[in-house]
Amino acid sequence: MTGQMILANRLTDGRVVFLAADGRWVDDIAGGAVATAPGVASQLLATARVAESRNAVIEPCLIDIRQVAGHRQPVAWREAIRATGPTVRTDLPA
């Protein structure tokens, strides 16, 4: 499955969050809404822009995702790193 999701940074702590179908922002990519049909992506983006104007998040953007081994993964490497965290210092507690 391919599709698009909304990724942003949360205002209070800057953490990466995904827009869920009910308008909440969630930490886990698995909980975010995926737009597969035309028009849905722009609706998600419009919702995200409202959240941005209400200062919940910063710089929301649409990202392309695909399914890899049963998990959602951003297509772009940069966004994949944002979604899963740095590839280094995984020894230290989050």
Partner 1 sequence: MYRYDEFDHTLVAERIATFRRQVQRRLSGDLTEDQFKPLRLMNGLYLQLHAYMLRVNIPYGCLSARQLRQLAYIARRYDRNFGHFTTRQNIQYNWIRLDETPDVLAALAEVEMNAMQSSGNCVRNITADQYAGRARDEVEDPRPWCELIRQWSILHPEFSYLPRKFKIAVSGAPVDRAAVKFHDVGLYLRRNADGVVGFEVIAGGGQGRLPYVGHTIRDWLPKEDLLSYLEAILRIYNLGGRRDNPQKARIKVQVNALGPDEFRRLVDEEWAQIRRSALLAVPRAEIERIAAYFADPAWEVLADDPVAVTRQRGVDPGFDDWYRANVVAHRTPGYAIVNLSLKAPGIAPGDLTADQMDKVADLADRFSIGELRVSHRQNLVFPDVRQGDLPALWQELRALSLATPNIGQLTDIIACPGLDFCSLANARAIPVAQDLSRHFGDAAVLQDVGELTINISGCMNACGHHHVGNIGILGVEKNGQEFYQLTLGGSSGEDASLGDRLGRSISAADVPPAIDAIVARYRALRLADERFLDTYRRVGIEPFKEAVYGARAREVA
Query: Smaller CB distance to partner 1: residue 52 or 62?
Result: 52
HEC assignment per residue over the chain = CEEEEEEEEECCCCCEEEECCCCCEECCHHHCCCECCCCHHHHHHHHHHHHHHCCCEEEEEEEEEEEECCEEEECCHHHHHHHHCCCCCCCCCC
- For partner 1, the binding residues in 7-66 under the rule CB under 8 A are 9, 11-16, 52, 54-55, 58-59
**Contact criterion met (CB below 8 Å) for 82 and 29:** no
Residues 65-84 as x/- pattern, contact with partner 1 by CB under 8 A: ----------xxxx--xx--
Query: Smaller CB distance to partner 1: residue 33 or 57?
Result: 57
Interaction between residue 89 and partner 1 (CB under 8 A): yes
- Name the site residues for partner 1 (rule: CB under 8 A): 9, 11-16, 52, 54-55, 58-59, 75-78, 81-82, 85-89, 92-94
